[in-house]
Chains A and B, each alone.
Chain A
Amino acid sequence: GESVGLHLPTLSVQEGDNSIINCAYSNSASDYFIWYKQESGKGPQFIIDIRSNMDKRQGQRVTVLLNKTVKHLSLQIAATQPGDSAVYFCAENTGGFKTIFGAGTRLFVKA
């Protein structure tokens, strides 16, 4: 069935380093992918998205890469800051209303 998962449940990085969070998806029909950040006690916050006709998209300090051949999605955070500590979810959408979330990766930023 459809599933979105993450390779690592936790990631610890030094402040100032770059972070890479990975995600695998299984539904080849998915055409829209989103990364969300969730801080403790809060709802998921939209970070960046990418459509299946793109390989890369950049935002402010964040880049999302999509490799459709191996069904892999990654989120790169440049110059990671303590405020980036959170759980990061990738999510996929096959068109329409239904968005499927993975289990999440917890990012720890060490000062």
Chain B
Amino acid sequence: DTGVSQDPRHKITKRGQNVTFRCDPISEHNRLYWYRQTLGQGPEFLTYFQNEAQLEKSRLLSDRFSAERPKGSFSTLEIQRTEQGDSAMYLCASSQAGEETQYFGPGTRLLVL
């Protein structure tokens, strides 16, 4: 499978714990995006990388959230001191430079108890 992959697919954690999600984009894509999606809503943009550089962060991305893409390939999204309001589907997408079409992974569903 050469699509975008995400790990884990599901995560249940207790409030206050830290969680980390991983995204592996399509191999030739140098742009990577993180979105959050709550039930019944469309995905909301969180952040964007071009290669290893994080070029844009949404106001939705509080100080408890941090994303990295150290080698310009896979990316991680960490949430510290999780809150119940962080429960959502976290989606990763990738695209080629110069193309707007983003291809999404299956998402990581987070439930904070």
Contacts of B41 in A (CB 8 A): 103-104
* Interface size in chain A (residues, C-beta < 8 A): 24
Q: How many A-B residue pairs have CB under 8 A?
A: 57
Complex Cα spacing A96 to B44, Å: 16
Complex Cα spacing A43 to B106, Å: 4
Among candidates B42, B45, B56, B106, residue contacting A89 with C-beta atoms closer than 8 Å: B42
Complex Cα spacing A64 to B43, Å: 21
Judge if B100 is at the interface, Cβ distance under 8 Å: yes
Complex Cα spacing A36 to B101, Å: 10
Contacts of A96 in B (CB 8 A): 100
Stretch from A11-19, A44-52, A54-62, A67-75 contacting the other chain: A44-52
Complex Cα spacing A97 to B48, Å: 7
A43 touches B40 (CB 8 A): no
A45 touches B42 (CB 8 A): no
**Chain A residues in the interface with B (C-beta under 8 A):** 4, 32, 34, 36, 41-46, 49, 89, 91, 93, 95-104
Additional pairs, 19, CB under 8 Å, beyond known A46-B101, A103-B41: A4-B42, A34-B100, A36-B104, A43-B6, A43-B93, A43-B104, A44-B43, A44-B104, A46-B103, A89-B42, A89-B43, A97-B56, A98-B45, A98-B56, A101-B42, A101-B44, A102-B42, A103-B42, A104-B40
